[in-house]
Structures are given as structure tokens and as C-alpha cells.
């Protein structure tokens, strides 16, 4: 049953994608959204710009959406609790005796923010307020939802959630601060995977440009395709490593730290293994779930099919 009022609070970090998915999944016309960001400091990159990018895309996709930005400290316990109390104070005054839902997405918050917010929201103890906490689990490709109501906790597959949502490649790129340099048509294959044939150029407000050969959208993750500049040259692994590091950086600017990289080269299996180890060592161990090599005689579309269909 739809409540009289629904509030969605989302902790904003460097990756806005979990917030984007959670808000679109739970939004209805009586909803109010709070994007809770951190300010820039010497010890914190801050997430206000990320929140502003997300707000802009949500306002374009959902005309009339009621959305506010709310500042919070990334680690100071007293400040975080104060932020939660401000949120609860607004909820109490706006309920006016009606039933209300509060949904917290804590996926992208700092450890301190996520832990404190999740506990305080789950056990808010406000009369007529039902609270839920939501976590977008990238490893399971699922949204984990918990509540203090018996039998209401559940796991929802992201693919099932996205089936009824009209999310474009441009949407996902824009929440990360980039846009298409020129209008292009997005295609949709037989497996409901969106794509843009290249070459494609993206740019941000500072004029920085990123080029890609093709781009796909898979379960709301951007898959960016790059052809090696050294195709046919049998180049040494050192140059390929630096090129791949460059492409990884570009993919993450367009789609965040869960973006997928497809790299077409003429590497043999030995070089592929070395390159994967370099990226896992220098960046993260989950790179083997994000980096995919494409053979010289294989198309990006065929590689996508082998990966996900």
C-alpha cells in the first residue's frame, strides 16, 4: 500500500549510481528526496558536486520532483547524529498525523555515515513512520532491503528493477558529470542492452573530453569499449599497461568505479594475464570482474553477448 508520504534519503559518495537506482525504484508523486552529501576539505574530496549532478538528472527525468541537498560530515559522530536528528525533525513536522515511509539508501556513504544512519533510521521509533534501509550490492547485482517489520526484508535483483525503467546511457554518464558532445541515437539489442556505436565523444563542464569506440549499458553499468592504439604492432607489455591504465581512468570518469572496460588488442594470453595482474595490484582485486579483453577478430557486440547473454 502506498503511504500518504514517502521520504527517500540517500547518502552521496563518489559514485551516484546506487542512489540513482534506489530513487527511481522507490519514487512516487508524494515522495520527497534528500541527497546527503559531504563538503570538500583537505582530508575529504567531498560529494556536493556529485549530488548536484544527480539532482539535475533526476529533475530532468522526473519533472516536479521534490528534492533537497543536505550537508553532513563524513566521520564526526556528533555532526552525523545532528544531521539525522534534523531529518527526523522535518519528518515529524511534515507527517501531520499521517502514515509515512522513510527509505534510506546507505550504499555510498562513508563507513561512519552508513553505520550510524542505518541504525538510527532502522530503529527510529517514530509513531506512524515505517523505515527501510537499502543497499545496492554490486557483487550480487541486487538491492538488499531491510526493515524492522517482520517478514518484509527482501533481496531484489537489479535487472528486475531496471526492466520497467527508462534509463539511458546518457543518464548514467550525466550523473557522473559528463554528457555527449553531439546528439547520437542509442540503440537497443535483442537482449535489452542499450548501446551507442562509435566513435563517441563525451565532455564535462570544464571542457575535458573523453573518446570511446563503443558504449553499452548493462544492468545500469556503463561498459566502455576501447581499441588499442597498438593493434598490429606487437607492442611491449609496458606500453599496453600505461594505455590500459588510461582507459580505466576514462571509463571510471564516465561510469564510476563499477564501470566495465572492454579492451581490444592483439595481446597473447600471457600479456593479458600480466595486464590484469597489474591492474588488480595497482587498483583493486575486483578488476577481473570489470576488465574484459576482446580479440582482434572479434566485435565488441559479440564480446558483450559472450559476457552477459
- pLDDT tens profile 9-61: 999 999 999 999 999 999 988 899 999 999 876 666 789 999 999 999 999 99
Chain CA centroid to CA 94, Å: 30
pLDDT at 165: 85
- Taking a C-beta distance cutoff of 8 angstroms, is the pair 29, 66 a contact? no
The predicted-structure confidence for 182-204, as pLDDT tens digits, reads as follows: 989 899 988 889 999 989 999 99
Q: Residue 135: helix, strand or coil by DSSP?
A: strand
Question: Residues of CATH 3.40.1350.10 domain(s) within the chain?
Answer: 169-308
Cα distance between residue 300 and residue 295, in whole Å: 9
What's the mean per-residue pLDDT of the chain? 89
The pTM (predicted TM-score) of the whole model is 0.89
* Strand 178-180 versus strand 194-204 pairing type: antiparallel
Question: Residues of CATH 3.40.50.10770 domain(s) within the chain?
Answer: 5-162
- Taking a C-beta distance cutoff of 8 angstroms, is the pair 11, 53 a contact? no
- How would residue 226 be classed by pLDDT, with cut points 50, 70 and 90? very high
Looking up cell 590500459 gives 244
Q: Is the pLDDT of residue 285 over 50?
A: no
- DSSP 8-state assignment for residue 143: E
Cα distance between residue 91 and residue 132, in whole Å: 14
pLDDT at 124: 92
Looking up cell 544531521 gives 83
Q: Is the pLDDT of residue 1 over 50?
A: no
Q: Which DSSP string corresponds to 152-200? A: --EEEEHHHHHTT----HHHHHHHTTEEESS--PPEE-TTS-EEEEEEE
- DSSP 8-state assignment for residue 41: B
Average pLDDT on 276-288 reads 70
Given this structure, which CATH class describes domain 169-308?
A: alpha beta
Q: Is the pLDDT of residue 282 over 70?
A: no
Q: Is the pLDDT of residue 94 over 90?
A: no
pLDDT at 283: 58
Average pLDDT on 125-130 reads 90
The predicted-structure confidence for 140-181, as pLDDT tens digits, reads as follows: 889 999 987 756 788 999 888 888 788 999 999 999 999 999
Tell me which CATH code domain 5-162 carries: 3.40.50.10770
Amino acid at each position: 500500500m502506498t503511504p500518504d508520504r514517502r521520504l527517500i534519503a540517500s547518502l552521496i559518495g563518489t559514485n551516484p549510481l546506487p542512489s540513482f537506482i534506489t530513487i527511481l525504484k522507490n519514487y512516487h508523486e508524494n515522495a520527497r528526496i534528500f541527497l546527503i552529501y559531504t563538503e570538500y576539505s583537505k582530508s575529504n574530496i567531498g560529494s556536493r558536486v556529485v549530488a548536484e549532478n544527480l539532482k539535475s538528472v533526476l529533475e530532468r527525468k522526473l519533472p516536479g520532483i521534490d528534492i533537497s541537498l543536505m550537508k553532513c560530515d563524513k566521520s564526526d559522530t556528533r555532526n552525523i547524529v545532528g544531521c539525522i536528528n534534523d531529518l527526523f525533525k522535518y519528518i515529524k513536522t511534515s507527517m501531520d498525523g499521517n502514515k509515512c515511509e522513510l527509505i534510506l539508501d546507505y550504499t555510498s556513504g562513508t563507513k561512519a555515515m552508513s553505520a550510524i544512519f542505518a541504525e538510527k533510521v532502522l530503529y527510529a521509533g517514530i509513531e506512524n513512520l515505517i523505515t527501510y534501509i537499502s543497499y545496492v550490492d554490486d557483487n550480487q547485482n541486487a538491492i538488499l532491503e531491510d526493515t524492522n517489520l517482520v517478514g518484509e526484508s527482501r533481496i531484489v535483483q537489479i535487472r528486475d528493477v531496471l526492466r520497467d525503467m527508462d534509463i539511458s546511457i546518457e543518464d548514467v554518464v550525466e550523473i557522473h558529470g559528463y554528457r555527449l558532445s553531439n546528439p547520437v541515437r542509442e540503440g537497443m539489442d535483442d537482449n535489452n542492452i542499450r548501446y551507442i556505436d562509435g566513435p563517441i565523444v563525451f565532455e564535462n563542464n570544464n571542457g575535458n573530453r573523453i573518446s570511446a569506440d563503443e558504449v553499452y549499458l548493462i544492468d545500469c553499468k556503463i561498459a566502455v569499449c576501447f581499441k588499442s592504439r597498438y593493434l598490429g604492432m606487437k607492442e611491449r607489455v609496458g606500453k599496453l599497461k600505461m594505455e590500459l591504465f588510461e582507459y580505466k581512468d576514462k571509463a571510471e570518469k564516465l561510469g564510476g568505479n563499477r564501470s566495465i572496460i572492454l579492451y581490444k588488442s592483439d595481446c597473447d594470453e600471457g600479456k593479458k594475464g600480466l595486464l590484469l595482474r597489474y591492474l588488480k595490484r595497482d587498483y583493486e582485486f575486483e578488476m577481473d570482474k570489470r576488465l574484459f579483453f576482446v580479440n582482434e577478430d572479434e566485435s565488441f557486440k559479440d564480446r558483450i553477448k559472450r559476457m552477459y547473454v
